[in-house]
Amino acid sequence: MEGADPALINDDLAPTAEAGRTWNWVSVAALWVGMVVCVPTYMLSASMVEQGMAWWQAVLTVLLGNVIVLVPMMLVGHAGTKHGIPFPVLLRSSFGPVGANVPALLRGLVACGWFGIQTWVGGSAIYTLLNALSSNWFVGTPLPVLGIDAAQSLCFLGFWAMHVWFIKNGTESIRWLETYAAPFLIVMGIALLVWAYLKAGGFGAMLSTPSQFGPGDAKEGQFWSVFFPSLTAMVGFWATLSLNIPDFTRYCRTQRDQLLGQALGLPPTMALFAFIGVAVTSATVVIYGEAIWDPVVLLGKMGGFASILALFALAIATLTTNLAANVVAPAIGFSNLNPKRISFRAGGYLTAGLGLVMFPWMVLESTGGYIFTWLI
């Protein structure tokens, strides 16, 4: 840009020109569907049901939490569409050109951790899929230092390489993936719901079980002490995205596109997949004799072609979530550090590199289910 300071701007940080505003409300809604459909969303209702809520109370809490977080999401996203600028550039108005690097990097480094974990989850889905097709032919001896076998390493690297390809081709390729993956993921989620219903002859006792907060129940009068912490957790689920949402809304044609797309893509999809999670889990009590909240464990028990298709869907869901939620923010944040030398693509490569060298399987092994659930 003529007259611009190269220490502050490059093509990726510059305001999006009219020709680059290719996102309509469908694109934004598809972006959110792609991010929402992931393992944690499926399991969101679990803790609330276990703490005494009825299924419908848990799903409504998820819906309300996402309606609340939608408000700052739209307000912050407004600036992205109005000025065509990403999150780090917007921060300069509050923190200054140098100070803006601090919150941008803090947001980005958290996303790098999530990127590594999600990439391992996606690679594990591919590994499980290959073994399902070959009667565990790919299971091998763990390699020295790495602690995982050769096939696991290759599946992880292969899934990691998929991310690198999309990073190389920029945000427009991510929009393309999210747009076409969204309807597939919705269909797969509904198909899983139908499978569970038919297999169990209904959704089981869980959906007919009342809450435990009524008079004479085990947790009488404790509803609000469970509700407010749960609601806070639901708001926090996408709180980081409410910060860097301008990274996406800068490509919207109009404010209507970002407002309508977010309103249709976030709260309804979160509620739908939270319901699918609790309903399918209810059916597993009838089908397998136990409540299986983890979809990866469930897919391992299903077997057959349905299991293979579902594992493929899980890999796609992880890819769409990871690219949008955990690549864009750190890539632009790193670019903001030194716009003259670091482009979005270079920042994305740096993000991918950090996710690779953190050895995410070791993080999961050493910190257990708490970190696994929290990071994803």
11 pLDDT higher than 50: yes
pLDDT over 90 for what percent of the chain?
41
- Cβ atoms within 10 Å, residue 299: 23
* Inside any domain, residue 124: yes
Which pLDDT belongs to residue 369? Answer: 42
> What domain range includes position 331?
18-375
Number of domains in the chain: 1
pLDDT over 70 for what percent of the chain?
95
Location of structure tokens 């081709």: 169
pLDDT digits (tens, 9 = 90+) for 198-209: 988 877 776 777
* Inside any domain, residue 7: no
Which pLDDT belongs to residue 65? Answer: 95
Of the pLDDT bands very low, low, confident and very high (cuts 50, 70, 90), residue 375 is very low
pLDDT digits (tens, 9 = 90+) for 220-279: 788 898 899 889 988 988 988 999 999 999 999 999 999 999 999 999 999 999 999 888
Location of structure tokens 């190269």: 6
Of the pLDDT bands very low, low, confident and very high (cuts 50, 70, 90), residue 175 is confident
Alpha-carbon gap, residue 318 to 36, rounded angstroms: 10
CATH no. for residue 227? 1.10.4160.10
Contact 13, 170 (CB under 8 A): no
* Inside any domain, residue 8: no
Burial tier of 265 (Cβ tally within 10 Å: 0-12, 13-18, 19+): buried
* Inside any domain, residue 150: yes
* Beta-bridge mates of residue 23: 252
* Inside any domain, residue 5: no
* Beta-bridge mates of residue 234: none
pLDDT digits (tens, 9 = 90+) for 50-69: 788 888 999 999 999 999 99
* Inside any domain, residue 51: yes
* Inside any domain, residue 283: yes
Q: Which amino acid is at 129?
A: L
Alpha-carbon gap, residue 59 to 62, rounded angstroms: 5
Contact 251, 176 (CB under 8 A): no
* Inside any domain, residue 10: no
pLDDT digits (tens, 9 = 90+) for 272-321: 999 998 888 888 888 888 888 878 778 777 877 777 888 788 888 889 98
pLDDT digits (tens, 9 = 90+) for 85-128: 999 999 999 999 999 999 888 888 888 888 988 898 888 888 88
pLDDT digits (tens, 9 = 90+) for 329-345: 999 999 999 999 999 99
81 pLDDT higher than 80: yes
